[in-house]
Amino acid sequence: MDLKSLLNKEQCEAAITVEGPLLILAGAGSGKTRVLTYRIAHMIQDLNIYPSQILSITFTNKAAGEMKDRVRSLVGNIADNMWISTFHSSCVRILRREIDKIGYNKNFTIYDSYDQKSLIKQCMKEIDINDKDLTDSEILNKISSAKNELISAAKFKKENESDYRKNKVADVYLLYQKKLKGNNALDFDDLIFKAVELLKNNKDVLDFYHSKFKYIMVDEYQDTNKAQYELIKLLVDKTENICVVGDDDQCIYAWRGADVTNILDFEKDYPKAKVVKLEQNYRSNGNILKAANEVIKNNSQRKDKALRTEKENGDKINLYRAFTDRDEANFVSNQIKTIMAEGNRSYKDFAILYRMNSQSRIFEESFRKHLIPYKIVGGLKFYDRKEIKDIMAYLKLINNPLDDIALKRIINVPKRNIGDATIQKIQEFANGIDQCLYSAILDVEYIPTLTTRNKSSISKFVSLMNNFMAKNEEITVSQLIKTIIEDTGYLKQLENSKEPEDESRVENIKELVSDAVEFERTSEDKSLLTFLEGVSLGSTTDDPDETIDTTAMMTVHSAKGLEFPVVFMVGMENGIFPGMSSINNPTEMEESRRLCYVAITRAEEKLYITSAESRMVFGRNVSYQPSDFISEISPDLKEIIGGAKNRTSQVLKRKNAKDFHKYNPHGLLSKTAPQDYVSATSHGDNSDQQGVNSGNNISNEATVGRKVKHTKFGIGTIVSKSSSNGDTLVSIAFDNMGIKKLILDKAPLEML
């Protein structure tokens, strides 16, 4: 096999280095999978190494399947004799052969998440732990984390006896493991944990696998946790024929146990290690790579390397500083439409990358408006998410008490001791009197099959709903949503939760409030019915088929391993990307910067980075300065686009958040200003240079009843005028845009 003609110099060096420890630092888009497959083919065809002596481990079944297919295409079916599999699959094969040596039968069962939760709940009941104090999910997360750190139940108990909460988890952990063994079962985390235990405590088993696997390869080594790291260390014999492939700059899973020091310290673990850097990128244009290099070089915990390409520099990175988050979404939609109109692109060539799932909502709305087909990758559409469907069910029931589906969804959410059996009894009673469920629970005292406790819980729910229905006549939709999430305890339950996914659920609910506020601002009919109709009509768009040309929306975490010709990195603001917790924590900041590096290197030809001067969070406008990561990119690599270039330049030069909040070019109101007045500067004007509105002249001319023209909103009539904190505030009834409340000297108005 002529590897020199098939691979570049560094790739070839990595492929032919077979003996001894080898670290392949494979930058983004550098062809690491190609190197691994040709390395295996070289070992089998050129060096006559038996396939059964090679163990190749990766992280996902998909990656393992693709690698096996590519190796088979090079060497034929002999590839089936080698192990190309995930960590967990490899461990299952070892345990099926040897687990009897640690007290299990070889026909052990592997519990899925449903089985795990059922067993955890059984343990909690036996120990008498109230799930309101400690949830099954929280306990499972802590047990999983402990197993990934190779901390046994006994050790976890000993280390946490002085911590009341963790000590309770330890009690469940101990009983859970006892019951697992009694059931001859392992959970998913046990597969690696028990394999490590087996190899550590049985020299004959370890010797067998040392003789079997003479060559070990591990892909995505930067994502390994402690248990996976220890497993590999055990399997490597004295010849140290270990090859690991990875990129410390793409270690973005610390939150689930990945330890970047595993790859950073490889040369300490194996002093004889050879290091080969794959820095030739085959994906992105030059300017994109230079930007990625300039961002990631600010990390201190990394190996020194820099991506390069033989491609042309291409377009500069486009920066767009939106006026609002809605403007940001519309800008992205318009750019996609403009590029599509040129006729050289498909919708699938575009990707929208954001930090949090909750950010998708406003882009989904804009895409529907602009008729851009899209799909959510690695997540649900905004209104398909459980927490959103829960709150929407409350709203639907308030609007229509006949909606049995909505009632069944939320009668026990949050938990109110109204279980399925109780609901079934209510349903039977309702059927008997030919009424809806809500009518039935209004007469709960007359349902003979219910206990006193059942009736008490249902009466409290009825009281709650009746209160919501009364308030619906008095308050706005956004205020109603806030009342629901507060009075039901829904938001508090999520905020107090220790479950990682509940943090994003809180953000999603806050985004729902923001959506309602926007509805109230733009809709003439501000009723709950109109809000529900708008959501329903917007949510009934068919999910795009995989065969249909669709634009992808996803978090940056979901984008790892993917690539697109055109990428939009949105919400690039301090407080979002990076988040506030990262800004104040150097270790988390480095992880966020690695995430930014991953996002940048998803782009092949064109990259947009967008932010907003004002965005709505939990129904309030907030202002964040542009992400520090943007300022880490050299000026010659980026270009500010849009009408407000000079203003954007000034904003991007400011690195101090305090200074940013003082800098207020569009009259966005401070927290002390009236919150219903906003600046409405045109997105395409040059008012900074032209001085559209000049002091007292415009104020004197702007009288109630005066016709005006706004560069964005069109023709309107001033209907009120007032002053606040030195600003002149006007309400203008626009012919086609409804009533807008503006800061007079900031708005681009022409007196008619």
- CB neighbour burial string for 429-456, b if at least 16 within 10 angstroms, e if fewer: bbeeeeebbbebbbebeebeebeeebbe
Closest CA to 464 of 493, 447, 435, 484: 484
Is 114 in contact with 190 (CB distance < 8 Å)? no
| Three-class SS of 629-643 | HHHCCCHHHEEECCC
Is 27 labelled as part of a ligand binding site? yes
| Three-class SS of 420-431 | HHHHHHHHHHHH
Is 17 in contact with 215 (CB distance < 8 Å)? no
Is 26 labelled as part of a ligand binding site? yes
Q: Is 531 exposed, middle or buried (0-12, 13-18, 19+ CB in 10 A)?
A: buried
Q: Is 603 exposed, middle or buried (0-12, 13-18, 19+ CB in 10 A)?
A: buried
Q: How far apart are CA 54 and CA 40, in angstroms?
A: 8
Residue 219 annotated in active site? yes
Which 3 state secondary structure label does DSSP give 438? helix
User: Which run of H or E residues covers position 114?
Assistant: helix 113-127
DSSP assignment letter at 131: T
Q: Is 602 exposed, middle or buried (0-12, 13-18, 19+ CB in 10 A)?
A: buried
Q: How far apart are CA 23 and CA 27, in angstroms?
A: 12
What DSSP assignment string belongs to 322-365? EEEHHHHHHHHHHHHHHHHHTTS--GGGEEEEESSGGGHHHHHH
Dmax (CA) for the chain in angstroms is: 94
Q: What are the beta bridge partners of residue 573?
A: 626
CA distances from 65 to 62, 76, 183, 640, 673 (A): 5, 15, 32, 43, 59
Is 103 labelled as part of a ligand binding site? no
Kindly give the interhelix angle for 477-487 and 452-471, rounded to the nearest 10 degrees. 160
Q: Of 142, 505, 602, 740, which one is the catalytic site residue?
A: 602
Residue 220 annotated in active site? yes
Residue 625 annotated in active site? no
What DSSP assignment string belongs to 6-36? HS-HHHHHHHH--SS-EEEEE-TTS-HHHHH
Residue 32 annotated in active site? yes
- For 335, half-sphere exposure in the C-beta direction (CA atoms, 13 angstrom radius) is 25
Is 79 labelled as part of a ligand binding site? no
Q: Of 219, 249, 604, 613, which one is the catalytic site residue?
A: 219
What DSSP assignment string belongs to 670-729? PTTS-TT-B----TT--HHHH-SS-HHHHHHH--TT-EEEETTTEEEEEEEEEEETTEEE
Is 32 labelled as part of a ligand binding site? yes
Q: Of 32, 70, 505, 510, which one is the catalytic site residue?
A: 32
Sequence-distant (≥ 6) Cβ neighbours of residue 512 within 8 angstroms? 361, 388, 391, 481
């343990």: which residue's tokens?
A: 123
Sequence-distant (≥ 6) Cβ neighbours of residue 164 within 8 angstroms? none
Q: At CA 448, angle to CA 445 and CA 454, rounded to 5?
A: 60
Q: Are strands 620-622 and 603-617 parallel, antiparallel or unpaired?
A: antiparallel
Q: Of 116, 250, 550, 555, which one is the catalytic site residue?
A: 250
Is 705 labelled as part of a ligand binding site? no
Residues comprising the binding site?
26-33
Residues comprising the binding site for ATP?
26-33
Just list the catalytic residues. Answer: 32-33, 219-220, 250, 602
